[in-house]
Amino acid sequence: MSTVRRIIAPLVVFLFITGIFVVCTNYVQRQINGIKVAEKLTDTDPVENAPPIVAFTTVALGSFRGIVADLLWLRTIALQDKGQYFEMVQLASWITKLQPRFTGATAYLAWNMAYNISVTFSSPEDRWRWVRRGIELIRDEALNYNPADPVLYKELGWIYQHKLGNIMDDANLYYKNQMATELMDVFGGPEPDWEYLAAMPDNEDQFKKHFNEKSPVWKALQDSGINTLDALERSFREEKKLPGKFTDKLKDGVDARFVESYLRSRWLKSKFKLDPKKVIQINNKYGKLDWRLPEAHAIYWATLGIEHQLTKEPDVSCERMISQSLADSFKAGRLLVFDKNNFKSLLLAPNFNIVDAVKKEFEDVYERQKSKSFLAAKENFMVDAIVSMYNFGKYKKAEEYLLVLRKEYPGNPRYRKSLEEFAIKEWMEDAKDGSMKQVMGIIDGLLFQSMYYLAYGDAETAVAHEKMAQNIYSYYRQSQSASLNRVGLAPYQEIKAKIIGSCLTNFPKQISDSLRAALEEQKVLNKEDKGISKEKKD
């Protein structure tokens, strides 16, 4: 018996000590794992919001995911070298799913599709397909797995600001037109009632709390044969409105508006990932933006990038994106003329409602970043704003901004001129060195003013404004011959016809009728039509 005890006693002690070590090791391992997850030092934990395939590859493949992703990268490079692009869409999605935390790779893949691949195609439709796919890779996939990654928000905002908002791509008008078309389908018109959309339920459970089981909404669903809310939503997105067989059964217009707004809110969040509450915050901060245009979306995503940044100091790239996009929204932030079947007819105008907000944004960012580049950007913006406001008859506000520049730069003779002298000099400088967007803003503004004066019977001033527009147009066209890389202006008669059409549509009825009478008296309308036809033949 004593021999057995001598054998068992050490074994028990050994097992006891081993058990203590196992417990301690397990505790320490849990602490280490917690630190790794908290500090994002590992990629093996399942990603939030991940679909089954992502959860499977993250857990099941483990470290082998990197090897598979590398092989897909090599395949992607080989396909691009051969000009075989279409398989790359699926490969990019797989790479994102295999390494959902590797956001730098996703950002590059998206940029590659939106920029490098898109320009290999000549048709605007093909280019737009690749630009949109680049947006979707970040917005619909990568951000779904990494909703707190500021880099992705910045990269997404950049595509909206630079690729869609800028004019360097020949197909930029097509991009803007397609974007506006898609958004207006979701909005149900030029813009939705943001406040009403923001008050909509977030999901079906909340929707059912609003409409109890005795509500006529459910009876209308049954009587129309649609039966379920999901089926109604699918039909709504196909028809872009509530199905007639449903509204015929639902007689209550208030209920119909609520149902429609609920479906539009869900569509907006699922397709464009826009939260109406955040849109309202941005509009309240900067002024009413036109959310059919890319600059507003660049501001939206840059704002989210700042909110999700890891450091306390605001990200300078996102702040610069917001200030630049605001400045661009001022210059051409209102969609005046839109035809989904003719993208070349798209016409933009300045958004004067945000001018003070843009100026303040430059000042606020300078205070946070202490970078003199923002002061220089503010000065340049104010110069452009003065000219633009003068072009469109905002003389009082233009004078106010000129006085601010005189006060802030007392030694600069540039700002000692009268408002008219200052505007004329800047016109000629912009026509010589400016971008097409700046020149178009000047020409559009002068023609707008010309129509305005003509409507009020001041033909002499109207002629003077149009003559200046023609001179700037001719001056810029001549300067284009020295730079083949510049995107050309549309024919002058076409530009003028667009402005006339916009003025006749948007002026108050009395002024519009007066303008129409003046144009008919001068036989301008028929002349413009013939001029456009002739220039298109040439």
Q: What percent of the chain shows pLDDT beyond 90?
A: 46
Residue 189 DSSP SS3: coil
Quote the radius of gyration of the chain (alpha carbons, Å). 30
> Six-digit token pair at 192?
């939705």
- C-alpha to C-alpha distance for 403 and 416, rounded to whole angstroms: 9
* pLDDT at residue 173, rounded to an integer: 92
Whether the pLDDT of residue 245 is over 90: the answer is yes
Please choose, from the candidates 343, 347, 337, 358, the residue with its C-alpha nearest in 3D space to the C-alpha of residue 289: 358
CA distance 262 to 230: 12
State the pTM of this model. 0.76
d(CA 27, CA 21): 10
Q: Is 432 left (phi over 0), alpha (psi -120 to 50) or beta?
A: alpha
- The confidence score (pLDDT) of residue 309 equals 84
Asked if 495 and 489 touch (Cβ cutoff 8 Å), the reply is: yes
Q: Give the pLDDT score at 6.
A: 66
The pLDDT, as a whole number, for residue 45 is 46
Average pLDDT of span 348-364: 93
Q: Which amino acid is at 341?
A: N
- Top pLDDT among 301 and 523 is at 301
Given pLDDT bands bounded at 50, 70 and 90, which one contains residue 299? Answer: very high
pLDDT band at 530 (very low <50, low <70, confident <90, very high): very low
pLDDT range class, residue 455, cuts 50, 70, 90: confident
Indicate if the pLDDT at residue 477 is higher than 90.
no
Residues paired with residue 122 on neighbouring β-strands, in sequence order: none
Give dist(CA 101, CA 418) in Å, integer: 57
Position 345 scores a pLDDT of 76
Helices 509-521 and 492-506, packing angle to 10 deg: 140
- Span 185-201, pLDDT tens digits: 999 999 999 999 999 99
The two beta strands, 334-337 and 347-349, are antiparallel
Do residues 292 and 347 lie in contact, with contact meaning Cβ atoms separated by under 8 Å? no
Residue ranges covered by each domain of the chain: 1-42, 48-147, 192-271, 434-538
pLDDT tens, residue by residue, 41-67: 444 444 444 455 555 555 555 556 666
For residue 328, which of 274, 381, 261, 405 has the smallest C-alpha distance? 381
Question: Encoding tokens for residue 512?
Answer: 């519009």
- Average pLDDT (342-370) is 90
**pLDDT tens, position by position, 170-187:** 999 999 999 999 999 999
Containing 102, the helix (H) or strand (E) segment is: none
Residue 283 predicted with pLDDT over 90: yes
pLDDT in the model for residue 371: 86
